[in-house]
Amino acid sequence: MSGGDQRGIMMNSTQVSYFTLAAYFDTGLLKYLFFIIAMFLYAMILCANVLLIVIICMNRGLHEPMYLFLCSLFVNELYGSTGLFPSLMVQILSDIHTVPASFCYFQIFCVHSYGTVELLLLTVMSYDRYAAICYPLLYNTYMSSCKIAIMNSVAWVYGFSTCFIMVCLSSSLQLCGNIINKVYCDNYSVVKMSCSDTQIFNIFGLISCFGVIICPLSLIFYSYMKILKVCFSGSKQTRQKAVSTCTPHLVSLLNFSFGACFEILQSRFNMSSVPNMLRIFLSLYFLTCQPLFNPVLYGFNLSKIRIICKSLLFSKI
């Protein structure tokens, strides 16, 4: 390619004002059914998470470390699903699946910051379980109100600041295309369209991968190794306490990890052999099932929340 052609591509790359979401396909009248399903799921997510946030905030008996972390987790579920569903419902009904570049970068920030904060909150929750089971007599010292506020704040600030830098680096890249093969905007899809040097972005990606994925997973693994050690050497009561309080957290972590792993695999590798509908469903999994799954999981498994929910629902009856 000649120098003049390269300059032409670079000049065209600065004029990308919108992106096309190419994963959508013509479904005819079924689009109204998909819209109703998406609206129903979003309504369920809003109702379930808001209900539990209100219950935790309004009941002083639930102002304990575990429930305060759960409240922060439910707020993040609302945030992540709101970054996806309104746009998804508009695109389902639309015949032209394009989004402005500014909105696309905003959605990238919302989706990635949701995932980052989710993993960080699950990490601090694993530390909370470690302190409760391994050091029950010193639990109130380890998990003071000040420490809870700091851990919650660090999870949100670190997650938001990391993703803000990532989006700033992505938006500064010169692009040679505007087609994203997904139903929502994805950062890696944008970076793949770059025809400028991505070395700085790649370096930042490696650093953030260590801070956002490797360190949290290592801390979670360490916490559960210590919990298992105490369970094997402790009493039956200790084992029952560990099972009852750790099971919801572990199930939530595995559910989130499954969705996130498939999302990473789909972004990095060619998944053309997988049916299109299945790819769309799995790409939406960690943004849909996790916000819907967590309130049900914790609401049914934690006795204090379950009792309050029952009293609210059946008090008039």
- pLDDT for residue 315: 59
Strands, E, within 143-244: which ranges? Answer: 179-180
Better-scored residue on pLDDT, 61 or 90: 90
Does residue 278 have a pLDDT over 60? yes
Q: 3-state secondary structure string, 78-103?
A: HHHHHCCHHHHHHHHHCCCCEEEHHH
Closest CA to 38 of 223, 238, 303, 281: 281
14-18, 145-149, 230-234: least confidently modelled range: 14-18
Eight-class DSSP state of 181: S
- C-alpha 121/C-alpha 142 separation (Å) is 17
Per-residue pLDDT, 2: 42
Q: Check the CA dihedral 155-156-158-159 and report its sign.
A: positive
Is pLDDT at 316 greater than 70 in this prediction? Answer: no
CB-neighbour burial class of residue 245 (10 A; exposed 0-12, middle 13-18, buried 19+) = middle
For the residues 153-163, what does the mean pLDDT come to? 95
Closest CA to 302 of 2, 45, 61, 37: 61
Domain of 162 in residue numbering reads as 3-227+236-314
Contact 252, 218 (CB under 8 A): no
Residue 126 sits in a domain whose CATH number is 1.20.1070.10
Residue 150 predicted with pLDDT over 50: yes
From 15, 5, 18, select the one nearest 185 (Cα to Cα).
Answer: 18
Domains held by the chain: number: 1
pTM for the structure as a whole: 0.88
Which pLDDT score, from 0 to 100, does residue 10 have?
40
The pLDDT value recorded for residue 277 is: 78
Task: Tell me what percent of the residues of the chain surpass a pLDDT of 90.
Answer: 33
Q: How confident is the model at residue 36 (pLDDT cuts 50, 70, 90)?
A: very high
Residue with tokens 């102002």: 63
Query: Does the pLDDT value for residue 317 go beyond 60?
Result: no
Residue 119 confidence class, pLDDT cut points 50, 70, 90: very high
